Structure 1
Amino acid sequence: MLILEVLFYSFVTVVIIQVLFYAVLFGSFAFSKNKKKPTNTIPISVIICAKNEAENIKKFLPSILEQDYPDFEVVLINDSSSDDTLTIFEAFKSSHNNIKIVDVKNIEAFWGNKKYALSLGIKAAKYDHLLFTDADCQPLSNQWIKQMSANFSEKGTIVLGYGAYNKVKNSLLNKLIRFETLLTATQYFSFAKIGIPFMGVGRNLAYHRDEFFKSNGFIKHMQIRSGDDDLFINEAANAKNTTISITPQSFTSSIPKTALKDWIKQKRRHVSTAKHYKIKHQFLLALFYITQVLFWVLGIALALSSFLWPFVLPLILLRFLFQYLSLGYSAKKLNELDTILLLPFLEISLIVLQFIIFITNQISKPNYWK
C-alpha cells in the first residue's frame, strides 16, 4: 500500500509539471496571437549548403529564385560533392545574375564538415542579413523571404522559422516525423517567446552576419559535425535579439525520410547536439521528457492497480486536456492538425524511439552530416 501511495503522489507531481509545460510554457506560443509586421526591403543573402544534391537543386532552387523580393542574392555552397551539384549550380548561374557559387574543397582539418563550408559561404555573402535553408527544402510561397525578413529590426537580429516536412498519405512514419517536428517547433518557439531561446532549424533560419562573428562563428563546436543551426542559436540567441516567424507564407517544406532506419540515423545526429546546450535548456528539456515517460509509466501502473482511481482518472484527463489544447493550437498555427488525431500513439512511439536513439548514441557517436 505504501508503494502505491508513493506512486500516486509521484504521479500527482508529474501531472502538475506536465500541465505547467503544456499550459504555461507551450501555451505562451500556442495561445498567442499572430501580429502582422511591416514589410522590410533590406537586402538578403539566401544561403544553401549542398552536398550531392544535384536532383534536389534542380527541383527546388527555382522556388528560391522566383521569390517576390526586390533585392536578394542566392549563395550556393558546393560542399565537395561527388555528383553533378556544381554543374547544376553553374547552369543556374548562367541565367541568373543574383547567384554566387562557393566551391568548397575538402581539407584534412575540416574534412566533411558542413560548418566549414557554411563559414566560407557566410563570409562570401554580399549582404549582412542572411537567410538559410537546405537543398531539399522548398518555400511554401513566393513571400518566404519577405515574411522572414519582416522580423528583422534594430534589436531583432535572429529569426526562427518553421521547417515542415511534406505530407505522405497513409504513412504512419510520415505522421510520426511531422509530429516530432511539431513538438520540437512548439518547444523552440515557446522557449523563444518566454525569452530563453535554445535552438532553430537550418531548414528555415535567419540572422545578421554580426551575430555570426560575435560568436566567432562555429569555432566553439566546429569539431561536432551537426549543430550548425541549433548549437549556434543556443550560443548566440537571447531574449532581446531573437524573434519568430509563424506566418504560413514564411514556412518551408522538406522531403521526409521514408524508411524508419534513415529517420533514426538523421535524429541520432540531431539528438547528439543536445548535450552541448546550456545547462538551463538541458534541464528543462530533460524534465519534460522524463515527466512524459513517468506520466505513462505511473499512469498505467496506477490504472492496473485501481488505486485511488477516482482521483487518478481526473489527473489523466487534466493532462490530456492541456496537451490537446496546446499542441492542437500549435498544430493549427503550423498546419499540422492531422497529427493530433493520433496524439497518444505518436507520443508513445516518439518516447520509445527517443530512448532507443539515446542508448544508441551512448554506444557509438554519429559523426557525419551526409
Structure 2
Amino acid sequence: MLLTILLIAFAVVVFIQFLYYIFIFGKFSFAKGSNEKPKNIPISVIICAKNEAENIKKYFQTLLTQNYPDYEIVLIDDASSDETAELFEAYEKQYSNVKLVKVQNNEAFWGNKKFALTLGIKAAKNEYLVFTDADCYPATNDWLLQISSQFTREKTIVLGYGAYEKVKKSFLNKIIRFETMLTATQYFSWAKIGKPYMGVGRNLAYKKEEFFNVRGFMDHMKVRSGDDDLFINQAATKKNTAILFSPESFTFSEPKTTFSSWMYQKRRHATTAKYYKGFDKFQLALFFVSQFWFLVLAIVLLAFQFQWMLVTAIIVFRYFFTWLSLGYAAGKLKEKDVMYWYPIIEIVLIFTQLSVFFKNLFSKPVHWK
C-alpha cells in the first residue's frame, strides 16, 4: 500500500515537472528571437566598483569601444582601498563620455552597494540606464545596440543574460554554467508569461523613471544583496519588461574556480529569495521540491523494484522532456556542452541547494567587499 502511494506521488511529481519544463520553461526554450531594430536613445552605462582595479584594467576598454552613437559611462567608486579610484579619475580626464561618482563611507549605509548605485543613478544624465559589473565584459561591440532595440514606450525594463567563461577540463565550470543557464531559463520564461521576478546585475537595463517609481532600493535597502533581483521583483511587470537573449547581447564574467568560493557566492545570492513576492517564492520552492522528490522517489521505487517497468518508463519520459526543453534553452544561450552532463549536474545542484539552505539558517555571508 505504501509503495503504491509513493508511485502515485512519483507520477504527480513528474507531472508537475512536465508543466514546468514544457509549459513554463518552454515559453523561452521554444521561443523565436526578436528582430527589433536598434534605437539611438541616449544611454548611461553604470558600473559600481569596490576594490576592482585589476578587473577594471582588463575590461574597461570593452565599454569604450561600443558601436553606439550616444552613451556615457558612469563609474562609481565605492570607497575603494586599492587603485580603483585613481584609475577612474584617469579615465574621467581622458574620455569625455566618462563620469566619476565617488562614494564616501556613510555610517547609515556602510558597505551597502545599493547606496552607491543610488548615487550613480542620480548622477546619470540619461534616462535609459544599462548595468553591468566591474568584473564583466560585453560579448561584442554591439551590446548597447542590442539592448536599445528592446526599449519601447511600454518596455522600460530589459533582462539580459550574464554568462560565465568556459574553462576547459573543469567540471565545476560546467556546473556553474549549467546553473546560470537554468536560472536564466526560469526568469526569462516567467517574464514571457507575464510574471517577471528577477534579473542579474551583470546584464540589466531599465529607464530611470522605473527606479524612482518604486523609491529605488528604499524598501530593501537594509538587505545587503538584491540590487538587481529584488529591484526587478518589485518594479517589473507584464507590461514593462522585455527579455534579450541574442548572443551579441551577452556579457561574460570569470567563473569561480574553487567549490568553496562558488558555494559562498551561492549563499550570498540565496539570501535575497526570501524577500521575493509570495507567488515567486512559491513557484521557485515548488520547482525545487519537485526536483528533490523526483530523485528520492525514483531511488526508493527502483530499490524495491516496485512496478519497475512503469517507474523506468516514467523516468525515461521525464528525462526526455527535460532534456528537450533545456536543450533548446542551452542552444539559445550557447551552453550546449553542459547538457552532456545534465543528469549528474542536476543531482549535484539539488544537494548543493540543500546545503546552502541549511548553512544560511545558521550564518549569514557578507555581501559587499
| TM-score, normalised with respect to structure 2 | 0.99
Task: Kindly provide the CA deviation profile for residues 66-122 of structure 1, in whole angstroms up to 9, marking residues without a partner as x.
Answer: 000000000000011000001111222222100000010111100000000000000
Task: Name the CA distance, whole Å, in 1 between partners of 2:120 and 2:264.
Answer: 26
1:20 — aligned with what?
A: 19
2:104 — aligned with what?
A: 105
Counterpart code for 1:52 = N
Asked whether the equivalents of residues 182 and 334 of structure 1 are also in contact (C-alpha less than 8 Å), the reply is yes
1:79 — aligned with what?
A: 78
Counterpart code for 1:322 = F
1:221 — aligned with what?
A: 220
What is the root-mean-square deviation in Å for CA atoms of aligned residues?
A: 0.7
Task: Name the CA distance, whole Å, in 1 between partners of 2:159 and 2:191.
Answer: 9
Counterpart code for 2:185 = T
Counterpart code for 2:175 = L
Task: Name the CA distance, whole Å, in 2 between partners of 1:197 and 1:333.
Answer: 19
Alpha-carbon shift at residue 22 of structure 1 (Å): 0.4
Task: Name the CA distance, whole Å, in 2 between partners of 1:266 and 1:43.
Answer: 34
Task: Name the CA distance, whole Å, in 1 between partners of 2:64 and 2:74.
Answer: 11
Task: Name the CA distance, whole Å, in 2 between partners of 1:366 and 1:226.
Answer: 10
Q: State the SS of the aligned residue for 2:150.
A: coil
Alpha-carbon shift at residue 46 of structure 1 (Å): 0.2
Task: Name the CA distance, whole Å, in 2 between partners of 1:310 and 1:350.
Answer: 27
Q: Does 1:92 find its partner at 2:91? A: yes
1:37 — aligned with what?
A: 36
Task: Kindly provide the CA deviation profile for residues 308-353 of structure 1, in whole angstroms up to 9, marking residues without a partner as x.
Answer: 1121111111111111011100000001011100001100101111
Q: State the SS of the aligned residue for 1:67.
A: coil
Asked whether the equivalents of residues 224 and 367 of structure 1 are also in contact (C-alpha less than 8 Å), the reply is no
Q: Percent identical across equivalent pairs?
A: 57
2:48 — aligned with what?
A: 49
Counterpart code for 2:207 = H
Task: Name the CA distance, whole Å, in 2 between partners of 1:110 and 1:90.
Answer: 24
The more displaced of 85-94 and 135-144 is 85-94
Task: Name the CA distance, whole Å, in 2 between partners of 1:40 and 1:258.
Answer: 39
Q: Does 1:300 find its partner at 2:312? A: no
Q: Does 1:368 find its partner at 2:341? A: no
Q: State the SS of the aligned residue for 2:199.
A: coil
Asked whether the equivalents of residues 166 and 254 of structure 1 are also in contact (C-alpha less than 8 Å), the reply is yes
Give matches, 1:254-293, under 5 Å: 254-293=253-292
| TM-score, normalised with respect to structure 1 | 0.99
Task: Name the CA distance, whole Å, in 2 between partners of 1:369 and 1:174.
Answer: 23
Q: Aligned residues, how many?
A: 369
Task: Kindly provide the CA deviation profile for residues 137-175 of structure 1, in whole angstroms up to 9, marking residues without a partner as x.
Answer: 010000000101110000000000000001110011111
1:243 — aligned with what?
A: 242
Task: Kindly provide the CA deviation profile for residues 215-261 of structure 1, in whole angstroms up to 9, marking residues without a partner as x.
Answer: 00000000000000000000000100000011110000001111111
1:125 — aligned with what?
A: 124
* Structure 2 unmatched runs, 5+: none
Counterpart code for 2:324 = L
Alpha-carbon shift at residue 28 of structure 1 (Å): 0.5
Q: Does 1:156 find its partner at 2:155? A: yes
Q: State the SS of the aligned residue for 2:314.
A: helix
